[in-house]
């Protein structure tokens, strides 16, 4: 094993050049992705920017697409070459005993790699642009749809090299899993070494090194180095991976650790199933997730077990009987999720649980009933399920919104609260149904938009809940939604001709306590903890104000907004005392409104302070 591992490491290091030639578009996308992550996590602002977050997600989809593009062209060109060779053989045109020279092979491969990367560049660019455009506002729907697209692309990465092949996918999965583990291990070891070197040099030579260098180094290791090492081990389409190449450590881990643990877990679930049959109390809540994720994980493990089935009796037994033993457990899962759907309707989470459960049921029936089992059927069917679940009128979002609208309309009809298609307030609604109505609106407000509720008028906000339904939103136990506050200056200008002194507090994020700046006899102090400004002249306090008070003075202008994005003109405040004129220009701010007191709470603020003495 040690010899094989050493040989694998040497092969990875020697393949750096060929890997770059084969995947240079993918390498470029990983570098771009890492750069956006570094800018977004170690930039000057206290929280990630939406544009960089969207760009990172779009580049991630681009990386997956570029892999698929390269593998697609390699598989397609290999198939064409085989067809051409077959025709040449059948027509007797091949010269017996002659093979293409090494120089000719290199030239053909180089040209093929160039075409493959050009295809990957076009495909990855289109997908990255499309996903960036799709990620509007980084909402729950857009991010979930992006996740579905990435799952589809990830599965496509395994499918493409094995189209029209009868076997080989299992060992392909084993090879890629082994390569991924080694790549991550390399990246972790390299990061630990570089971090230790940086820390030691900083400590011994009293260097001023920011803590962000460690995060940046980590992102480079996992964002560039690890993917590059992984790409070095992606088999070419014409490569044949034998069962003898199965890593011994992974073999022992699967046979003697993973599958026995799964067998014990299965036994525990069967005990619980027996308890249900005896007590006749059907499961609810967490049970569906326990069965679902166990079934998905074990289905994935089958790809590691199948190559061992011919040489290991336990592996053969596990692969034969698991598809049978999981069927009763899936029935228990369907009963659990069915109870939840009947009581609370369909949401995205329940939709995915139900859909994955149906996919697992179909998969297990296929593995039990089909004589000529093809392992590629599983990822192909899952890829189709993944993309259909986030697109079209049958998507999780469309079905969930329809279901919750039906629930709300049913509750309102029950209490005669609908008249001419609009809601009529009622105080006769039972407390439990009040909670249901509030929960439905809270669901739309959190995951979609209140405009998606068919019964609500345009422009409705949760602040109008009591007026609309006749009972209070807070009174039934739900917290008032948190109203967020945010402003980030872009390009701006302000008239400061009447002010003599400038005090810059635009970067107080990592400071603690009070920060004081002075010009002559004017002293300004900003307290980081209380977010208060104090200005003194000749040692006497002239003016003092907290940013909570300043924001509170303009908040009524944004009262109806669930998330406040301040306008630039509202971020300039003028004040004064008997001896000073003052202007506060906020450069960046974020916070929230305290749900109970409705007072602004400022978490961060960067600002410029202009001061002028009276009479000057």
Pairing of strands 540-546, 532-537: antiparallel
- Answer yes or no: is pLDDT of 536 > 80: yes
Q: Taking a C-beta distance cutoff of 8 angstroms, is the pair 56, 36 a contact?
A: yes
The torsion of the CA quartet 103, 107, 108, 112, rounded to 10 degrees, works out to 150
Q: How confident is the model at residue 102 (pLDDT cuts 50, 70, 90)?
A: very low
Percentages helix, strand, coil for the chain, rounded to the nearest 5?
60, 10, 25
Choose between 143 and 240: higher pLDDT: 143
- C-alpha to C-alpha distances, 284 to 44, 292, 340, nearest whole angstrom: 47, 13, 7
pLDDT in tens, 361-375: 999 999 999 888 889
User: What is the CA 238 to chain-centroid distance, rounded?
Assistant: 34
State the chain's maximal CA–CA distance in angstroms.
105
Closest Cα partner for 117 from 47, 214, 19? 19
What confidence score (pLDDT) does residue 229 get? 93
Q: Where are the alpha helices (DSSP H) in 135-159?
A: 140-159
- Cβ atoms within 10 Å of 115's Cβ, excluding its own: 14
Q: Taking a C-beta distance cutoff of 8 angstroms, is the pair 284, 333 a contact?
A: no
Segment 83-92 shows an average pLDDT of: 60
Mean pLDDT estimate for the chain: 86
- Answer yes or no: is pLDDT of 170 > 90: yes
What confidence score (pLDDT) does residue 10 get? 63
- Answer yes or no: is pLDDT of 280 > 60: yes
- Most confident among 5-14, 254-263, 492-501 (mean pLDDT): 254-263
Segment 572-582 shows an average pLDDT of: 91
What confidence score (pLDDT) does residue 260 get? 96
What confidence score (pLDDT) does residue 385 get? 96
- C-alpha to C-alpha distances, 203 to 59, 197, 209, 389, 548, nearest whole angstrom: 37, 10, 10, 53, 40
- Cβ atoms within 10 Å of 97's Cβ, excluding its own: 5
* Rounded distance between C-alpha atoms, residue 494 and residue 475, angstroms: 45
Name the β-bridge partners of 582: 575, 611
Q: Taking a C-beta distance cutoff of 8 angstroms, is the pair 532, 546 a contact?
A: yes
Q: How confident is the model at residue 295 (pLDDT cuts 50, 70, 90)?
A: very high
What confidence score (pLDDT) does residue 28 get? 96
Segment 432-451 shows an average pLDDT of: 90
Q: Taking a C-beta distance cutoff of 8 angstroms, is the pair 23, 271 a contact?
A: no
* Rounded distance between C-alpha atoms, residue 612 and residue 498, angstroms: 7
Q: Taking a C-beta distance cutoff of 8 angstroms, is the pair 514, 528 a contact?
A: yes
What are the start-end ranges of the E strands in 388-473?
A: 418-419, 422-423
What confidence score (pLDDT) does residue 239 get? 81
What confidence score (pLDDT) does residue 455 get? 92
What confidence score (pLDDT) does residue 95 get? 42
Q: CB burial class (10 A; 0-12, 13-18, 19+) of residue 490?
A: exposed
Choose between 102 and 446: higher pLDDT: 446
Lowest mean pLDDT across 16-20, 312-316, 411-415 = 16-20
Q: Taking a C-beta distance cutoff of 8 angstroms, is the pair 132, 69 a contact?
A: no
What confidence score (pLDDT) does residue 586 get? 92
What confidence score (pLDDT) does residue 98 get? 47
- C-alpha to C-alpha distances, 292 to 103, 330, 372, nearest whole angstrom: 53, 8, 26
- Answer yes or no: is pLDDT of 453 > 50: yes
Percent of the chain with pLDDT over 70: 87
DSSP H or E run through 609: strand 600-613
Name the β-bridge partners of 526: 515, 533
What does the DSSP assignment read for 171-226?
A: HHHHHHHHHHHHHHHHHHHHHHHHHHHHHHHHHHHT----THHHHHHHHHIIIIIH
Name the β-bridge partners of 510: none
* Rounded distance between C-alpha atoms, residue 554 and residue 570, angstroms: 7
Percent of the chain with pLDDT over 90: 53
pTM over 0.85: no
The torsion of the CA quartet 434, 435, 438, 444, rounded to 10 degrees, works out to -130
Q: CB burial class (10 A; 0-12, 13-18, 19+) of residue 575?
A: middle
Segment 219-235 shows an average pLDDT of: 94
Q: How confident is the model at residue 60 (pLDDT cuts 50, 70, 90)?
A: very high
Q: Taking a C-beta distance cutoff of 8 angstroms, is the pair 513, 527 a contact?
A: yes
The residues, ordered by sequence, that sit 6+ positions from 340 with a Cβ below 8 Å of its Cβ are 284, 285, 288, 350
Pairing of strands 540-546, 563-565: unpaired
- Answer yes or no: is pLDDT of 454 > 90: yes
């Amino acid at each position: 094993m040690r010899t094989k591992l050493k040989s694998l490491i040497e092969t990875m290091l020697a393949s750096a050049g060929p890997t770059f030639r084969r995947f240079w578009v993918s390498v470029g996308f990983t570098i771009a992705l890492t750069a956006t992550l570094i800018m977004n996590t170690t930039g000057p602002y206290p929280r990630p920017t939406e544009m960089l977050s969207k760009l990172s997600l779009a580049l991630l989809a681009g990386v997956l697409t570029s892999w698929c593009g390269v593998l697609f062209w390699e598989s397609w060109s290999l198939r064409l070459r085989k067809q051409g060779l077959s025709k040449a053989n059948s027509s007797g045109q091949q010269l017996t005993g002659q093979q293409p020279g090494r120089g000719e092979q290199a030239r053909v491969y180089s040209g093929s790699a160039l075409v493959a990367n050009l295809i990957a560049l076009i495909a990855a660019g289109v997908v990255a642009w499309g996903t960036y455009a799709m990620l509007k506002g980084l909402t729950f729907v857009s991010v979930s749809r992006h996740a579905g697209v990435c799952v589809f692309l990830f599965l496509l990465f395994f499918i493409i090299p094995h189209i029209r092949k009868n076997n080989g996918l299992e060992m392909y999965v084993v090879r890629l899993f082994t390569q991924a583990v080694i790549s991550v291990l390399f990246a972790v070891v390299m990061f630990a070494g570089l971090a230790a070197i940086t820390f030691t040099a900083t400590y011994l030579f009293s260097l001023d090194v920011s803590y962000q260098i460690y995060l940046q180094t980590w992102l480079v290791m996992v964002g560039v180095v690890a993917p590059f090492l992984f790409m070095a081990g992606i088999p070419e389409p014409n490569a044949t991976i034998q069962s003898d190449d199965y890593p011994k450590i992974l073999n022992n881990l699967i046979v003697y650790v993973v599958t026995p643990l799964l067998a014990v877990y299965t036994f525990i679930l069967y005990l619980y199933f027996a308890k249900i049959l005896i007590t006749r109390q059907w499961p609810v809540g967490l049970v569906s997730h326990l069965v679902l994720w166990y079934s998905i994980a074990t289905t994935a493990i089958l790809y590691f077990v199948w190559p061992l089935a011919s040489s290991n009796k336990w592996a053969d037994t596990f692969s034969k009987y698991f598809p049978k033993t999981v069927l009763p457990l899936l029935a228990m899962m369907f009963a659990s999720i069915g109870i939840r759907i009947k009581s609370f309707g369909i949401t995205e989470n329940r939709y995915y649980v139900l859909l994955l459960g149906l996919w697992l049921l179909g998969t297990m029936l296929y593995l039990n009933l089909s004589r000529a089992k093809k392992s590629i059927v599983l990822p192909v069917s899952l890829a189709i399920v993944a993309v259909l679940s986030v697109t079209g009128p049958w998507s999780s979002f469309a079905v969930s919104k329809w279901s919750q609208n039906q629930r709300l309309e049913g509750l309102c009809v029950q209490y005669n609260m609908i008249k001419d298609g609009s809601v009529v307030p009622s105080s006769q609604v039972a407390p439990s149904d009040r909670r249901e109505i509030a929960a439905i609106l809270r669901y739309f407000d959190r995951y979609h938009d209140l405009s998606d509720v068919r019964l609500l008028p345009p422009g409705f906000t949760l602040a109008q809940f009591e007026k609309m339904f006749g009972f209070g939103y807070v009174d039934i136990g739900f917290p008032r939604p948190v109203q967020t506050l945010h402003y980030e200056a872009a390009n701006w200008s302000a008239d400061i001709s009447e002010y003599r002194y400038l005090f810059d507090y635009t970067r107080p994020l990592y400071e603690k306590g009070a920060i004081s700046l002075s010009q002559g006899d004017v002293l300004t102090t900003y307290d980081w903890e209380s977010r208060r400004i104090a200005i003194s002249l000749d040692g006497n306090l002239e003016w003092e104000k907290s940013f909570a008070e300043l924001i509170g003075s303009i908040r009524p202008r944004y009262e109806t907004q669930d998330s406040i994005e301040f306008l630039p003109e509202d971020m300039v405040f003028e004040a004064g005392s008997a001896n000073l004129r003052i202007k506060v220009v906020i450069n960046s701010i974020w916070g929230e409104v305290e749900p109970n007191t409705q007072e602004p709470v400022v978490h961060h603020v960067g600002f410029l302070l202009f001061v002028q003495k009276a009479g000057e």
